[in-house]
Amino acid sequence: MTSPKSHISKGDKVKILSGADKDKTGKVLQVLPRSGKIIVEGVNVIKKHMRPTRDNPQGGIIDKEAPIYSGKAILICPRCNKPARTGHKFLADGQKARYCKNCGEVNEK
């Protein structure tokens, strides 16, 4: 079963609403639409034990961001710089775009 399209895209700045990393902000590194999750820079950092490989000859324990549910994050509007819910509307050329429900600014994708 696939989840509906996420309200968050790669490169967006988001704020985390709940969980251990509540109130942290970061840039979205990757969107995983099948599972409804996102990977945010500096959020939900885990320790991963890596075996030495040709790419990583040192091996050892590295810090890595793990996915979180996209419903736990809210988009930060680039114009008003506040967390805001988003809506969708059609532009004059027929393209669908997100807009900030606080200030009304259209966020092009």
Is the Cβ–Cβ distance between 87 and 105 less than 8 Å? no
Q: What is the CATH number of the domain that holds 5?
A: 2.30.30.30
88 and 61 part of one domain? no
62 and 88 part of one domain? no
15 and 52 part of one domain? yes
Whole domain around residue 95: which residue ranges?
Answer: 84-109
62 and 30 part of one domain? yes
Tens digit of each residue's pLDDT, the chain (109 residues) = 445 567 899 999 999 999 999 999 999 999 999 999 999 999 999 999 999 999 889 989 999 999 999 999 999 998 999 999 999 999 899 898 999 999 888 887 5
63 and 89 part of one domain? no
The pTM assigned to this predicted structure is 0.83
**Which residue carries 């900030």 as its tokens?**
100
What confidence score (pLDDT) does residue 2 get?
46
**Token couple for 73:** 């994050």
Task: Note the Cα 74 to chain centre separation in Å.
Answer: 8
41 and 88 part of one domain? no
Backbone φ and ψ for 72, nearest 5 degrees, come out as -85, 0
